[in-house]
Amino acid sequence: MLAGLAALVLCTALSLALGTRPIPLGTVLDALSGRITGGDADVVTGLRVPRTVIGLAVGAALGVAGAVAQGVTRNALAAPTTLGINAGASLAVVVAIFTLKLSQPVEYVWFALAGAAGAAVLAYSMARRSGDLDPVRLALGGTVLTAVLTAWTSAVMLASRRTLDEARFWLAGSIGGRSLDVLYPVLPLLLLGLVLALLVSPALNALALGDETAQSLGVPVARIRVLGGLAVILLAGAAVAVAGPIAFIGLAAPHLLRPFLGNDHRWLVPGCMIGGPVLLLAADVLGRLVVRPSEIEVGIVTAFLGAPLLAVLARKVAR
C-alpha cells in the first residue's frame, strides 16, 4: 500500500508536469502555491489540475468497480467493460444526445447511470441459473451484451451527423479538456459507491466460497449482491459519465494488485482506490508523450494495452 501511494504521488506529479508543453516540477509547485501567474501557471492550474483530479476520481471508481464486480460475480474476468456496463451507459448517452440534443458532458450524467444500471441488471438476469449466479454465463452474456449495445450505439450515431460529432470525442474515453464542473454532479454518487464497496468488502471473501457456504456462515448473499451491484453501477456509471467508456482499468487493477495484496477484499478494494488512478494517470501521460505535439486519448491507450492482458487472463482462467 505504501509503494502504491508512492507510485500515485509520482504519477500525479508527472500528470501535472508532462505533456505537449513540459513544465519543471519546481514551476508546477510555484503555480499551485500561487507564487507565479500566467503562462505555465495557467497551463498547470487551468488544464492539468482538473485533468489530474478527474483522473484520480475516475481511476479510483473504475478500479474499485472492477474489484467488487469480480467479487460479487465470482468471475475473474468481470469488469464494467466485460459486463456491458460501459456499453449500456454509452448507448444511453448517445440516445440522449440524439433525442434531446444534449451538448455538454455535465448533461450526460443521469443517462449514463441509467444505462449502466439497465445493462448490469440485464447481464445479471442472463447469468442466473437455477437461482444461482453462473460465472461462465455471466462472462458470455456480458460479452454478447457489449457487442449488441455497441452495435446499437454505432447505428444511432450513423443516423445523425450531429450526434456523431457530439459523441465521438466522449466515446473515445478522455480526461482531458474537461473542467471540474463535470465531476461535481457525480461526486456524491462516486463517494457513495466507494463507501458501499468498503462496506461489502469483508462479505465478498465469503462469497468466493460459493453461495451455500456463504449463507451457512451467516452472510446475507442476496443483500450483499444487491449492495455490491449498486456500488458497481454507481462507480462505473459516474466514471463513464465524466470521462466516457474507458476500458480495462477495472479489469486490470485487481489482477495487478493481487500478487501484492492477496485475495482478501478488505485489502484489495482499498488497494484498487490507489492502483486504479495509478494505471489511468500513467496511461494518460503515455498518451500525451508518444505522438507529441498531438495526444492519444487515454481510452485508446488503455484499450491498446488492455487487450493483451484480457487474452492472458482468459487463458489463465481457462486453465
- Is residue 62 within 8 Å of 239, Cβ to Cβ? yes
> Hey, which residues does 129 pair with through a beta bridge?
132
Domain range holding 62? 2-318
- Which CATH number belongs to the domain containing residue 136 in this structure? 1.10.3470.10
Rounded distance, CA 170 to CA 273, Å? 24
Tell me if 81 sits within 8 A of 173, measured CB to CB. no
For 24, 50, 232, 233, the CA distances from 121, given in Å and listed in that order, are 48, 33, 11, 10
Stated length of the chain: 319
Query: 153: burial class by Cβ within 10 Å (0-12, 13-18, 19+)?
Result: buried
Q: Can you list the residues of the chain whose pLDDT is less than 70?
A: 105, 129-136, 313-314, 316-319
Distance CA 154, CA 141 (A): 20
Q: Determine the pLDDT at residue 213.
A: 83
Tell me, what's the pLDDT at 34? Answer: 84
- For 279, residues 6+ apart whose C-beta sits below 8 A from its C-beta are 59, 63, 249, 252, 253, 256, 302
CB–CB of 67/279 below 8 Å? no
pLDDT at position 167 is 80
Cα separation of 171 and 255, whole Å? 25
Cα–Cα distance between 280 and 2 in angstroms, integer? 18
Phi first, then psi: what are they for 219, rounded to 5°? -85, 125
* Model pLDDT, residue 133: 66
Give the model's pLDDT for residue 130.
60
Phi, psi of 55 (to 5 degrees): -60, -40
Q: What is the pLDDT of residues 57-112, one digit of tens each?
A: 999 999 999 999 999 888 887 888 878 888 898 899 889 888 888 777 677 778 88
How far apart CA 190 and CA 276 sit, in angstroms, is: 14
Our CA dihedral for 106, 108, 109, 110, rounded to 10 degrees, sits at: 140
Q: How many domains does the chain have?
A: 1
DSSP E strand boundaries for 192-296: none
pLDDT of amino acid 132: 64
